[in-house]
Structure 1
Amino acid sequence: MTTVLLSLIVIVNLFFVISFVKDITKHKNEIKKEPANTIALPFVAFFTFLLSTFGISDFAIGTVLYQKLKWVPLKKLPGTLNAQCVIPVAAMALSYITSIDVGIKTLAVCIISQVIGAYVGPRFVVKLPEKTIKKFVSIGLTIAALLILAGKFNLIPSNGTATELYGIKLVTAGILLFAYGALNNIGIGSYALTMATVYALGMNPAAAFPIMMGACTFSVPIGSMQFVKFGEYSRKITLFASTFGVLGVLTAVYFVKSLNTGMLQWLVIVVLLYTAVSMVLELIKSKQNIANEAI
Structure 2
Amino acid sequence: MPLDATRLLLAGLAIAALYHIVTLVRAMKPAPTVRPTPVGIGIGVVTAFFDTLGIGSFATTTALFRATKTVKDALIPGTLNAAHTLPTLAQAFIYTQLVEVEPVTLIAMIVAAVAGAWLGAGIVARWPTRRIQFGMGLCLAAAAALTAAQALDVLPGGGTAIGVSGGKLAIALVGNFLLGALMTIGIGLYGPCMMLVSLLGMNPAAAFPVMMGSCAFLMPMASARFLRLGKVDLRAVVSIIIGGVPAVLVAAFIVKSLPLTALRWLVVIVVAYTAFTLLQSSRRPAEDTPAAA
Category of TM-score, reference length = shorter chain: 0.7 to 0.9
Shift of 1:290: 7.8
Equivalent position of 1:106 in the other structure: 105
Q: Does 1:118 align with 2:117?
A: yes
Distance in 2 of aligned mates of 1:268 and 1:172: 30
Q: Report the Cα offset of residue 146 of structure 1.
A: 8.8
List per-residue Cα deviations over 1:115-154 (Å, max 9, x = no partner).
222234789999xx95997599579848964995488xxx
- Are 1:10 and 2:1 counterparts? no
2:213 is aligned to 214
Note if contact 1:50-1:251 (Cα within 8 Å) is conserved in structure 2: yes
- Structure-2 residue corresponding to 1:59: 58
**Distance change >3 Å, CA 18–CA 201, structure 1 → 2:** same
Q: Give the TM-score of the pair, scaled to structure 2.
A: 0.73
Alignment partner of 1:30: what SS? Answer: coil
Q: 1:168 to 1:132 in 2, by over 3 A?
A: farther
The one-letter code of the counterpart of 1:6 is L
CA contact (8 A) 1:145 1:269 kept: no
Unaligned runs of 5+ in 1: 152-157
Structure whose alpha-carbon radius of gyration is higher: 1
1:237 and 1:124 map into 2 onto residues whose CA distance is: 22
Corresponding position: 1:197 with 2:196: yes
Cα distance, 1:267 vs. partner?
A: 6.0
Q: For this pair of structures, how many residues does the alignment match? A: 274
CA 1:282/1:139 → structure 2, altered by over 3 Å: closer, same or farther?
closer
Q: In the alignment, is residue 45 of structure 1 matched against residue 44 of structure 2? A: yes
**Residue number among 30, 33, 40 corresponding to 2:33 in the alignment:** 30
Q: Percent sequence identity over matched residues?
A: 31
Secondary structure of the structure 1 residue equivalent to 2:34: helix
Task: Check 1:97–1:26 CA distance in 2 against 1; reply closer, same or farther (3 A cut).
Answer: same
- Stretches of structure 2 that go unaligned for 5 or more consecutive residues are 128-133, 286-293
User: Which amino acid is the alignment partner of residue 37 of structure 1?
Assistant: T
**Deviates further, 17-26 or 46-55:** 17-26
Q: Distance in 2 between matches of 1:207 and 1:123?
A: 30
| TM-score (structure 1 length as normaliser) | 0.73
CA separation of 1:230 and 1:289: change in aligned 2, threshold 3 A: closer
Which deviates more from structure 2 when the two are superposed, residues 232-241 or residues 49-58? 232-241
Deviation by residue 1:215-258 (Cα, 9 ceiling, x = unmatched): 112221123234444554333332232233111112222368x5
CA contact (8 A) 1:100 1:206 kept: yes
Q: Give the superposition deviation at 1:77.
A: 3.1
Structure 1 residue 109, shift from structure 2 partner:
1.7
Alpha-carbon distance in structure 1 between the residues aligned to 2:240 and 2:225:
18
Letter in 1 for 2:83: Q
Q: Secondary structure at the match of 2:100?
A: coil
Counterpart secondary structure, 2:84: helix
Secondary structure of residue in 2 paired with 1:31: coil
The answer on whether the counterparts of 2:117 and 2:219 sit within 8 Å (CA) in structure 1 is no
- Aligned ranges for residues 222-241 of structure 1 at < 5 Å? 222-229=221-228, 231-241=230-240
Deviation (angstroms), 1:92: 1.2
> Greater helix percent: which structure?
1
**CA distance, structure 2, for counterparts of residue 291 and residue 230 of structure 1:** 25
Partners of 1:221 and 1:289 in 2: how far apart?
29
Provide the alpha-carbon RMSD of the alignment: 4.1
What's the counterpart of residue 155 of structure 1? none
| 1:110-189 superposed matches below 5 A | 110-120=109-119, 141=146, 145=150, 148-149=153-154, 160-189=159-188
CA distance in 1, matches of 2:140, 2:216: 28
Structure 1 residues 278 and 167: CA distance shift in structure 2, 3 A: farther
